[in-house]
Chain A
Amino acid sequence: MMEKTEMIGDKDISVERTGAEARKLNFKNELCGSCGICEKICPVDAIEVNPTGAMVRTEQESSKLEIDENKCVLCGMCSCICPYDALDLEIKGKTIKESDEYPHLLKSSEIDEDKCIYCKACETACPPGAITIARELPDRSKLVSGEIEIDKETCIKCGVCEEMCPAEAIELDYKFPTSDDPTIASNINIDKDKCVYCLVCKKACPVDAIKGVCRLCSYGDYDIKAEDAEIKGSSDINEEVCVNCGWCKDICPVEGIKVTKPFEGTVDINQESCQGCETCVMACPCNAISFPETEEMGGISEKIHIDEKYCIYCGACEKACPVDAIDVKRTKIHSTPVKSKSWEKAFESIKN
């Protein structure tokens, strides 16, 4: 009739049930934030999250969580509530994340391509590295305008201009001086695609062999076409890896990113009991926690600071804190309608 199997590959886990309605729960260790929401919502206590601090700070052979396949009934609650998409239930080979019957967390991060200027700030700031910005810069030669020429008769091929050129546009063909040609270079060339007409070479030339003019300097940028200065590119957020923390939205200089966080809530830190051990800082998948700097020399600041701008109220810090100094409360879950009463109750239970 039915058979249940558990497979552990590397640190990923899958629990499978055969039968008329084949179900498979997949756990991806890499995506897991060790927040413990799955452990909390599981109706049959089949999930145990390994100590968060130990997992993020020390090398461990085990997965971030353990699933007891004898207890797991493959109901899919963990899969629907996981804010990091580390758990996924498949029914007949199809993920329930695409089924309307199951509730889903409403969470998303989107880059508005029309606004994006491809500055890469978000790519650098993104805690899990979910953003890729690919950009194509304009042709440099189209952004400058001028003329340059070397009087090869006058030129003594000393190489001063080559050494000074910031754009590496000048090249000499060096050679050994011989009795029939007692020079150190056979030729000198300026690559006009590289030259930016800064005229450093002209000023530096000891024999005044270079003549040049920069048209932009005297006349402004009238003859530069706007389309030639355009930066092309593409931006991408890897939905699976994204934690919807809001770093990208916050750092974007053109307000080009929209982020919907899965939960609303509050975080409180008991500054008295906090010992500054840094476990929460390392555990937070959203890089929302930091050691604050004091405002003035010798001043006393709070021991640890959580910036709720970047917090998604997952509770990984609370779970990691060895002295119970952090209290994360979820007050609202953004999700599609929960149709079943028991599921509604389960979703309520992870508010606290």
Chain B
Amino acid sequence: MCFKYTSIYKHFYIIFDDNYIYIEYISVINTHGVHMPKHIISGLKYLAAVELRKKGRNQREIAAELDMDRSTVSHYLNGRNVSWNSIEIATVIRNTCPKDFLALTYALIKDKDKTRTIIKTCLDKKYDCKVKTSCIGCGICVDACMMNSIVLDDLKAQIDPYWCCGCLICGEMCPTNSIEIKEVKNDGENRDDR
């Protein structure tokens, strides 16, 4: 497993790879920036917990889903034990484009399944996924999709829109340009995600 990634945002300058994360926070919190990955993970879990609460899950269910203690969930939901800095940075991470959100979350958590849960919970966008007949079934997208949303069926990729997070990594890696992913707006209109 190896990820090397550099990205520049309005508020952030982010460099990270497998073992190292460095986030320089430029404008929002310039003096006491949060450097500890664990704190940011807490922030992300907080966001996910709140999302799940909104969906009507009880504390036990949230704890099971996010692999946390029930008491920690309770603390989080009551706004304790997690710093506002962490939440703020987690929020900025969530608001980056889906690819960066996914890459950053995975770099922090370093666990595929947990990353999938956080991304799935915090992203409320829906995607329309199409695979053109030019697909040759090479399986690169299957391996590339961190959300495990792609399988091969009769030498053609099939994308499960339920798990698609809109990161577009599959489309970028596809050797035959066969993948088309579009964000579906709430009013049902399609708009190009790029």
Contact = CB atoms under 8 A, between A and B. Distances in A.
Interface string A271-305: 00000000000000000000000000000000000
A73 B133 contact: no
A3 B143 CA distance: 10
B2 A346 contact: no
Contacts of B144: 1-2
B37 interface: no
Contact of A340 (B1, B3, B154): B154
Nearest to B156: A340
Interface in A8-62: 17, 19-21, 23, 43-44
Interface stretch (B50-58, B77-85, B134-142): B134-142
A44 B155 contact: no
B176 A43 contact: yes
Contact of B2 (A1, A23, A74): A1
A192 B166 CA distance: 90
A1 B3 contact: yes
A76 B140 CA distance: 12
Contacts of B178: 342
Contact of B143 (A19, A339, A340): A19
B134 A342 contact: yes
A20 B136 contact: no
**Interface SS majority for chain A:** loop
Interface residues of B, number: 23
**Interface SS majority for chain B:** loop
Contacts of B138: 73-76
Nearest to B178: A342
A73 B155 contact: no
Contacts, number: 70
A20 B143 contact: yes
A74 B173 CA distance: 13
Contact of A1 (B1, B134, B135): B1
A73 B3 CA distance: 20
A258 to B, nearest CB: 30
Nearest to B155: A340
B19 to A, nearest CB: 16
Nearest to B3: A1
B175 interface: yes
Interface of A: 1-3, 17, 19-21, 23, 43-44, 73-77, 91, 101-102, 339-343, 346
Given A76-B138, A101-B152, 18 more contacts: A1-B143, A2-B144, A20-B143, A20-B148, A21-B139, A21-B142, A23-B139, A74-B140, A75-B137, A91-B139, A101-B155, A339-B155, A340-B133, A340-B154, A340-B156, A342-B156, A343-B136, A346-B136
26 contacts: A1-B144, A2-B144, A17-B140, A17-B143, A19-B143, A20-B142, A21-B139, A23-B139, A43-B175, A44-B175, A73-B138, A74-B140, A75-B137, A75-B139, A77-B136, A339-B155, A340-B133, A340-B136, A340-B155, A341-B133, A342-B137, A342-B155, A342-B178, A343-B136, A343-B137, A343-B155
